[in-house]
Amino acid sequence: MPLITTGKPFIRDLEQAGALGVYAPLEGGYEGRYQRRLRATGYESMNLSARGMGDLSTYLTGVHGVRPAHVGKKEIRTYYIPPMLDTYLAHLLPTSKGLVLWLGDGQVLSNQELAYLVELPTIDPRVKVVVELGGDRQFRWVKLSDIANS
């Protein structure tokens, strides 16, 4: 049985590329281990599901409207929520290396949305992106730019 990984190659590749796509075994657990290693090296993480996000740029960096479920008795209202990513970045600790945006269910994202996620670390260098793209027999990662360009 192999020793538990330290996560250093993953963290190094994430810092160099800025955005990675990961394939993890379906039984789970590996994502949490790598997130724990990221936190141990000084990163904070923000976990979101890619399903139902709508326009990524508006959801992450712009004010966006949300309508709660309408049950038929009240008027339909739109509540405006501040940008998710900017809110987290404003509350980063001064000792933090940055913020890792970890998106689950990334296989539902289009190539255009993946290309935006590749550009996100160049817009703000404090942001790193990890997108779960599917299952595999072992935990592996690829540059997200390679996936978005294909």
**pLDDT beyond 50 at 30:** yes
Quote the pLDDT of residue 3.
44
Taking the C-alpha atoms of residue 98 and residue 125, their distance in angstroms, rounded to an integer, is: 8
Q: How many CB atoms lie within 10 A of CB 39?
A: 13
Taking the C-alpha atoms of residue 45 and residue 35, their distance in angstroms, rounded to an integer, is: 7
Quote the pLDDT of residue 127.
97
Answer whether residue 60 is part of any domain.
no
Q: With contact defined as beta carbons under 8 Å apart, do 140 and 31 qualify?
A: no
Answer whether residue 85 is part of any domain.
yes
Number of domains in the chain: 1
pLDDT band at 67 (very low <50, low <70, confident <90, very high): confident
pTM for this predicted structure: 0.89
Segment 39-51 shows an average pLDDT of 94
List the CATH number of the domain containing 130.
3.40.50
CA distances from 98 to 8, 27, 73 (A): 16, 29, 44
Q: pLDDT (tens digit, 9 = 90+) per residue, 87-99? A: 999 999 999 999 9
Taking the C-alpha atoms of residue 71 and residue 131, their distance in angstroms, rounded to an integer, is: 34
